[in-house]
Structure 1
Amino acid sequence: MPEQSGLELMEWVKEEGMRLETVVLTCHSEFRYAQKALQLGGSDYILKPVIYRELEQVLQALGRKVEEQRQADHEGERYHQLAELWQGQKPLLTERYWKDLLDGRERPDASWLERIRLAADVDAQLIGTIRPLLISVENWEKDIDERDERVMEFALRKAAEEILLESLPGAVVEDYRGNSLILIYEGGAAAQRLEELCDRYREACRTYFYCKMSVYIGDAVPLKNLRGEYLGLLHEEYRNVSISWSSIPAGAASRGERHADALQPDSTALLEWADLLEQGGIESMRARLEELLMPGAAVTVETLTAYAYGLMQAAYLTLHRKGFPAFMLHQYREDFDVSAATRSVQRFRAWSEGMLGQIGVLLQSRRSESPVLRQIKAYIADHMDRDVTREELAEHVFLNPAYLSRLFRKETGKVLTDYILQEKMRAAAQRLTGTDESVSAIAAGLGYGNFSYFARLFRKVYGKNPHEFRKIGTDSSATPGA
């Protein structure tokens, strides 16, 4: 070659990192030339004069090699894309697996453990003990609509990852009911200074997200008992009407023996049964009872008695959450005598069918709107002349504010504060088109001392200011937001 040898060209190609296949055709028969060519990545070394059949075979083999390399590169690129996709999906899969476990759709068996291990990159020992924390939003200190509230709830979960899980292994999960939870993996070691860490998290959320909240700190429990502990936290939040804006540790005295692993309906099973009735209905509860009564089960008078009282307590708890007084369970039937239900499995089945039937009648009778919801709406309608807070409404119906907000959104599809605003603006629209009151008098009558603020809210709901709305004579039955 002019000015440069073939070996020098091969050396330059190698230095530049080019992926080329080379065949050396040369008159040099010395071993050191062949050795150098092979060291530089040459595929073959042919002496002149060239036998064309031999060269053809070498080039064909080299072509097959190049094609195989191309296929390998393509498969490698595809594998890399799939690996990146898998890495991106792992957090979503991790959350889904935890959600299914908390909801009772999955059990922590070997199959589930293998899936969570791959998705979360954790070993089984680390998640052998879990401490759940429940984030309970009690109040937003700025007016926000439903879309903004969902965004802010997402921000709260991200903040929990950055603050609570900065030095602790765990996961942040939004369950199927909209609750935000932190699951701390304590299989390796117990979390230290957790209450102090939760206080710092709450302070940060109030500072940056204008949110007052409580964090319910559960006990560290074996993985198999996590669902019971989770339901216990939800029940604590539901029952709590006295402590607010706090980090609330688990209270063994108030929560009792919630972690016993037994078939009989202890407090853990009671909460699970109430959850089955509330979420899955009577069919889910019927299936659970059939599991307990299946052939081969150790059924005695004592266990039947426990099941009967457990079902009644679960029914009372479910109806109370829905706003029904307990006496309504016996309003149309007075033959729910527990002693009659425990004489045989057959009698228990008949007794439980009657009980479940009555529960179903009550839940179906007012399915569209629960008594609690009616109380809330009536209270809002009776107090249109002033600002009504979520805390005031919660106190009126004896519920926790955070629980009340979720209940209201679940039954109506609306945020409670949005509903209050819409009802006030609906009343304002009716007065604007149906009376001669001045706009300022209407604003004052609905508790708005600042006319400009009232006009801004009215425009937000109806798309027009109050004077424009009255002038064009909009139908008083118009829907807010239309």
Structure 2
Amino acid sequence: MFNLLVVDDEKIAVKGITVGIDWETFPIGQIFEALDVNEAKQVLSQNRIDIMISDIEMPGSNGLQLQEWVRTHSPQTETIFLTGHANFEYAQQAVRLGSFDYVLKPVDHDRLQDIVKLAIEKIKEDQEQTDFHETYKMYYSHWVSELPTLVEKFWQELLSGKIPANEERLTRNFQMYEIPLDMTSRILPILISVEHWKEELNARDEEIMEYAIRKAAAEIIVVEQAGCVIQENGSSLVLLYVEEGSELSLTDIKAKCEAYISACHRYFQCSLSCYVGEETPLLKLTAKVADLFQNERNNVTKSNCVLLDNETDQPLMNKPQAPTFSDWIVLLESGKKAELVARIQENIDRLQKTDDVGSETVEAFYYGMLHVVYHVLHKKGLAVHDMLPHQELQDYTSATRSLNQLRNWAVRTATVSCDYMNSHLKGVSAVTAKVCQYIDDHMEEELSREELAASVFLNPAYLSRLFKKETGLSISEYSLKVRMEKAMKLLAETNDKISYVAEQTGYSHFSFFAKMFKKYSGLSPQEYRKNFQG
């Protein structure tokens, strides 16, 4: 609804408009009256007035002077002037002051109503335009605030190949996201690799700290240079845009990266390295970024430093020999924790003194250690995943990033394995251990209590009581546990058909296997595999 104000020094003229015209057919909410300019100003100051019908000639201040005041204090108000003289100069001044229309006295009510209708239509149109611009302004503000995220997503999709690298598409994206590049532009990528956090962080805290190091990279490395910092494959990637006709100084970039590494070490308590690429044409950027990730993977000896393209370790033809893991199996089986840890430390020390250590050597060490743990614990009839969560034990990315991180992972794994095994096998007799081993060796078969008792030359009932007393589980419960743990391992680590997994764990009927697996783990075999393999 709209509010109307009628201003005239003649009360009869005011009433002739406010009362003499049927305003009920108009979307008029309130009608106000004023007999002079001061009274009109008071009404305008206290109420929102959409339409003002005002006489021009009034004692003291006139309608034109009132309109000048309205332009400043109530600019949304549309003014319709009334006058008893067809004075062209008045009309000119009224138009100059932004009045909506001009009506001669005596007022033709039909004519005035038509003009008011037009004024209402104009107000509605103006309001729609205002609403549109306010809405646009709000969403534009949101878009600007989200622009860094949109730019990051653009680069992520370009590097992953989700955006086709054609000129039309890229040019449109550059313009839309205000990226100062074209198809001939060059970009210098810098990969930031976090090697170690001084404090142990949970997943949420680590994500917050990684966000912090990206912000720091923007402030220290990018600074006033055109570019951005994005998250890419779990790491941070700096992209410096090279202006046409210019060339970036690698000396300056290296100095900025060194300052950045020092700042991160001081404020975020982390160790990281910067892998600096070279100025690369836009269409070759994906390959260059892949090279930087390969450089990171190959580097297992240098840390907390800036590495240029030609300074990273290269894949080796002659790789150092891996440890003799069969000796480690004997040590773990015997529960000799101190000796096993010492053997791990000696091997890592030897590798650190060797110049030709590459990523494959580290990987061989990692997988060899995993084999030792799985082999020994399964042989003892213990579940590896009860000892450590799957994600923590098989933390490939973190464990193989450097020799120091490999050392930390291997020592922790060996220590936890020995402690877990010693606590769970304490007091177990040779007879029970032999039964456990027999179950493990014959997992694919359907074993009876009698068969197990015969393997150790005991009465079946006596064996059942002894086994329960020493392990806390019945023979059938233990057998189920061993089978289910093996099934979990195969589902998590292989792509074997589930029916094959069932057969490998002694179940000839898939439906029975699926029923027992869900009862044991709470998930169907398909759901369990999906949780671990995605």
TM category (shorter chain) comes to 0.5 to 0.7
Give the structure 1 partner of residue 269 of structure 2. Answer: 210
Change (3 A) 1:81 1:429: farther
Write the distance in 2 (CA, Å) between the matches of 1:376 and 1:123: 54
Counterpart amino acid of residue 180 in structure 1: S
Contact residue 192 and residue 275 of structure 2 kept, 8 A: yes
Letter aligned with residue 286 of structure 2: R
**What pairs with 1:367-406 in structure 2 (closer than 5 Å)?**
371=367, 374=370, 399-401=400-402
Q: Say yes or no: does 1:242 pair with 2:301.
A: yes
Matched AA of 1:54: R
Give the aligned partner of residue 157 of structure 1: 214
Contact kept? 2:194, 2:235, Cα under 8 Å: no
Higher Cα Rg: structure 1 or 2?
Answer: 2
Shift in Å at residue 127 of structure 1? 7.3
* Equivalent residues in 2 for 1:338-353, closer than 5 Å: none
| Offset, 1:90 | 2.2
In the alignment, does 2:288 pair up with 1:229?
yes
**Which of 42, 54, 62 does residue 119 from structure 2 map onto?**
62
Indicate how the Cα distance of structure 1 residues 420 and 35 shifts in structure 2: closer, same or farther if over 3 A, else same: farther
Shift of 1:116: 3.2
TM-score by length of 1: 0.55
Shift of residue 420 of structure 1? 5.0
SS at match of 1:4: coil
Note the C-alpha offset of 1:81.
2.5
Q: CA offset at residue 155 of structure 1?
A: 0.6
2:189 is the counterpart of 1:148: no
Q: C-alpha separation between the residues in 2 aligned to 1:372 and 1:166?
A: 45
Conserved 8 A contact 1:127-1:186: no
Tell me if structure 2 keeps the 8 A contact 1:91–1:119.
Answer: no
Give the deviation of 1:195 after TM superposition.
Answer: 0.3
Return the match for 2:239 from 183, 198, 203: 183
**1:127–1:185 CA contact under 8 A, matched in 2:** no
How many angstroms does 1:165 deviate by? 1.2
Deviation by residue 1:276-310 (Cα, 9 ceiling, x = unmatched): xxxxxxxxxxxxxxxxxxxxxxxxxxxxxxxxxxx
1:100 and 2:157 aligned: yes
Question: 1:218 Cα shift?
Answer: 0.7
Equivalent position amino acid for 2:309 in 1 = A
Distance in 2 between the 1:28 and 1:64 partners? 28
Query: Percent sequence identity over matched residues?
Result: 27
Question: C-alpha displacement at 1:125, in angstroms?
Answer: 3.5
Equivalent AA in structure 2 for residue 221 of structure 1: T
Check 1:252–1:324 CA distance in 2 against 1; reply closer, same or farther (3 A cut).
closer
Pairwise CA distance, 1:143: 2.6
Could you say what the CA RMSD is over the residues aligned between the two structures, in angstroms?
4.4
Give 1:430 shift: 8.6
Rate the CA distance shift 1:253–1:423 in 2: closer, same or farther, 3 A.
closer
- Find the aligned partners of 1:107 and 1:321 in 2 and give their Cα distance: 37
Structure 1: 5+ residue stretches without partners: 257-318, 326-369, 382-389, 406-415, 436-474, 478-482
Tell which deviates more after alignment, 101-110 or 226-235.
101-110
Q: How many angstroms does 1:425 deviate by?
A: 11
Quote the offset at 1:183 in angstroms.
0.9
Paired residue type of 2:301 = S
Cα contact 1:90–1:119 (8 A) shared by 2: no
Contact 2:295 2:312 in 1 (8 A): no
- 1:81-133 deviation digits (Å, cap 9, x = unpaired): 23223223322221112112222333421244134313431233387211111
In structure 2, what is the Cα distance between the partners aligned to 1:101 and 1:109? 11
Q: Return the match for 1:30 from 87, 94, 100.
A: 87
CA distance in 1, matches of 2:87, 2:414: 95
Deviation at 1:375, TM superposition (A): 5.7
Structure 2, unaligned stretches of length 5 or more?
1-8, 10-35, 37-59, 316-358, 378-391, 428-472, 474-480, 482-534
Residues 240-261 of structure 1: per-residue CA shift (max 9 Å, x gap): 12221111111189779xxxxx
Higher relative contact order (CA 8 A, sep 6+): 1
Alignment match, 1:11: 68
Q: Name the residue aligned to 2:191.
A: 134
Matching residue of 2:98: 41
Residue type of the alignment partner of 2:167: A
| 8 Å CA contact 2:299, 2:313 repeated in 1 | no
Q: 1:253/1:241 Cα in 2 relative to 1: closer, same or farther (>3 Å)?
A: closer
Q: TM-score, normalised by structure 2?
A: 0.50
Residue number among 201, 210, 232 corresponding to 2:260 in the alignment = 201
SS in 2 for 1:251: helix
Q: Residues 147 and 246 of structure 1: is their aligned pair in 2 closer, same or farther, counting only changes over 3 Å?
A: same
Report how many residues are paired: 310
